[in-house]
Amino acid sequence: MLQNNFYTILEQKIDDEEAVFKIRFNPLHIIYNAHFRGNPITPGACIVQIIKELASLSLNKSLMIKEIKNLKFINVIIPHQYPEVFVQFSLVNDDITAIYHLKGTVYVKEEIFSKFSFIMSCC
């Protein structure tokens, strides 16, 4: 779990149709020493884990990623340049199969860092 270590949640708004989280990265985290020392960027694997954690939090259920339908890293997140970002997504539940369809964006103002579409299920 990366929450409260690699990143913290500053704000959250969750309703039936959408969730929006404002998060702050910890630029001193050890991950940034390895990725990359002197020129830190947020690893794509960490972004995927953050999305999974926020989706689980929004439903108050433990979720796992069944399939990544679409994942685009459009711009890198440099923690010193962009210490805070928004993660916005819609999460639609298929009651019959207990599958969740997640679609969203990681962004700050007009700057889009990532677009994603996952299929998730309860653990």
Residue 105 pLDDT greater than 80, yes or no: yes
- Nearest residue to 118 via CA among 35, 51, 34, 26: 51
Give me the pLDDT at residue 95, please.
Answer: 77
| 75-86 average pLDDT score | 97
Which domains does the chain show, CATH number per domain? Answer: 7-122 (3.10.129.10)
- What confidence category does residue 31 fall into, taking pLDDT thresholds of 50, 70 and 90? very high
pLDDT, tens digit (0-9, with 9 covering 90-100), for 58-70: 999 999 999 999 9
The percentage of the chain sitting over the pLDDT mark of 70, rounded to a whole number, equals: 100
pLDDT, tens digit (0-9, with 9 covering 90-100), for 7-21: 999 999 999 889 999
For 12, list phi and psi in degrees, rounded to 5. Answer: -150, 140
CA dist., res. 107 & res. 112, Å (int): 4
Residue whose tokens read 């689980």 = 56
Give me the pLDDT at residue 94, please.
Answer: 80
